[in-house]
Amino acid sequence: MEVPWSPHVQTARPPDPADYSGLELDVELVRAWLVEFLRHEIRRRRGFERVVVGLSGGVDSSLTAALCVQALGPEAVFGFSLPYRTSSAASREHALELAERFRIETRTIDITGAVDGYLSSFEPQASGHRVGNVAARQRMIILFDQAFKLGALPAGTGNKSERLLGYYTWHADDSPPINPLGDLFKSQVWALARHVEIPAAIVEKPATADLIQGQTDEGDLGVSYREADLILHHLLSGRSVEKLIEAGFEAEKVALVTGRLERTHWKRHLPTVAMLSSTAIGEWYLRPVDY
Amino acid sequence: MAIDIAIAQFKPAKGDLDATLDAFDRVLTGALRRTPRPRIVVFPETALTGYFLEGGVREQAIEASALFERLSARHADLGADSVDIAIGFYELHAGRVYNSAMYAKLGADGEVVHVHRKVFLPTYGVFQEERFVEAGSGIRAFDTAYGRVAVLICEEVFHSISGVLAALDGAQLALVLSASPARGATPGTGAPDNVARWDALGSSLASEHGIFVAVSQLVGFEGGKGFAGGSAAYNPRGRRLVGGPLWEEALLVTSLDLDDVTQARTEEPLFADLERSWTRLLVNSPGAGVRRPEAES
């Protein structure tokens, strides 16, 4: 076994915009690691035998579902395709292709009626951004309700890149109680997805929240995930913005990533509670989530 | 003298003492059914409760004497042969809480042989030990029926001084109890990076001092943090004798012949060099803090 000097060995390389090796993973190790994580968190810790996953047709939910199948077996995984009227046909097809490949029983529930029941009647002028948020929260309402009905646990699908960039709907995509991909950058999700043989059409297509036709994550963000991941990797490893620019990273992209990161710390926390006592929960009264 | 030693790669039922003790019984029973019978069974750091308890340490901490009584009573119920154990637990002692390891003899003439209180408390990144437990104050070896033993807990092994102090106090066997959250997945290694580092540390501790080393790792997940395992034992030349799997419980059994300590130290007398130079080094090395250098003019 090759012996790295420390667990932080991957951060020891100097920043270089052409060097992506710091993001490389032993994908088989990570696969086995996450499968064990899912078994523990779903079965052993919480006593559930089933899990529900919203299948968007994208790589994150596809990988999450595939890992759940490996952890619990296909009969324990329930997929939900939850299209809105603007969702692309390709997304639905990819969700169903994934379900077929991994033998996941999948139900389609069109959320248009639920979403438009509110928006068309009361907020017809809502922006695309607002429609996206309402749709994301509606999907969570359905996933949690279906989980309750099935005696299952909802699994989250958010990755580290979107969490760090704040590119998700708060208390929607981030609300399931377990999340296997939350410490993997998007480019690492792609690598792992290829390893577990997620259909190429899903892995290779541009990532999209699928709220508006032709919309892509990278178009919204103004930087590719691959570039953003490398910048985030170095920032989280303690490299300064100045150091990255000095090493040849594009100043504009570093600023864009740093700006999103610094504006969204709140989004990675629970709501801010006014502390009034020396027994405030989470401040003084500290007990771990699995205690 | 050659003995078999068993290393339990163990998964506690977090915060559920009775369930954990039931698991402890199963492991102990399994170990003692083996032929030859292991004379020492080593459990990992915080084996009694799980590692990440935060403020829960105050509810879960137990006095060493109370733990010994519970383990002795269960051992008696099992009707098992006498056995020495080392086990990690949050200890209540003199009104304070420590991250401790108890070495005890269960069975006829049972007794608590030694309690080691962790000196180096990791408090960085995912670790918050100094916030919730107090630091022990020393590292020493102690006599057992099977040779002179020292117990070290996790981060202590990252400080080479810990092995130095254990060896200088006569340890022939270091029992290392650890709870090491998995992190890092460097391509091509097949194990989390911290497991690879532990392999290097265990081997180095053994070969530097010419002692046997047994590392027992906690296994399982706690709030998303995975303890990967990778328990192992090393001979006094630093060669791995046995290695545990990843992610699952296991019982590793290996034979230790303490005559190998003498043999290894004869072949490569690093320990003799240390012993001979230690006091002189302390006195003459400003960094040791025993004697300050004269102020430069």
Least CB-CB distance to B226: which of A1, A37, A289?
A37
Q: Residue A6: pLDDT band by 50, 70, 90 thresholds? A: low
Per-residue confidence (pLDDT) for residue A208, from 0 to 100: 86
For chain A, which domains are there? 9-268 (3.40.50.620)
Contact check, Cβ <8 Å, B185/A1: no
Taking Cα atoms as reference points, which of B145, B190, B138, B199 lies closest to residue B169?
B138
B125 touches chain A (CB under 8 A): no
CA atoms lying within 13 Å on the CB side of residue A229: 22
Which pTM does this prediction carry?
Answer: 0.93
Secondary structure (3-state) at A54: strand
Q: How many CB pairs under 8 A join A and B?
A: 97
| CA gap A200, A184 in Å, rounded | 19
Per-residue confidence (pLDDT) for residue B290, from 0 to 100: 79
Report helix, strand and coil shares of chain B as percent, to nearest 5: 35, 30, 35
Q: In B169-258, which residue ranges form alpha helices assigned H by DSSP?
A: 193-209
| CA gap B112, B70 in Å, rounded | 12
A72 touches chain B (CB under 8 A): no
DSSP for A162-179?
HHHHT-S-TTTTT-SSB-
Q: Is the pLDDT of residue A213 over 50?
A: yes
For chain B, which domains are there? 2-286 (3.60.110.10)
Local structure of residue B218 (DSSP, 8 states):
B
Q: Residue A11: pLDDT band by 50, 70, 90 thresholds? A: low
Please report the sign of the dihedral spanned by the C-alpha atoms of residue B69, residue B74, residue B78, residue B83. Answer: negative
- The whole-number mean pLDDT for each consecutive block of 10 residues of chain B, a chain of 297 residues, reads 95 94 96 94 98 96 98 94 97 98 96 98 96 97 97 97 98 98 94 96 98 98 97 98 97 96 96 95 89 55
Least CB-CB distance to B184: which of A10, A27, A40?
A10
B106, two tokens: 């269960």
Q: Is the pLDDT of residue A45 over 50?
A: yes
CB A53 within 8 A of CB A61: yes
CA distance B145 to chain A (A): 36
A124 touches chain B (CB under 8 A): no
CA distance A204 to chain B (A): 22
Whether this model's ipTM surpasses 0.90 comes out as yes
User: Any idea how long chain B is?
Assistant: 297
Q: Is the pLDDT of residue A5 over 50?
A: no
Least CB-CB distance to A1: which of B52, B189, B223?
B189
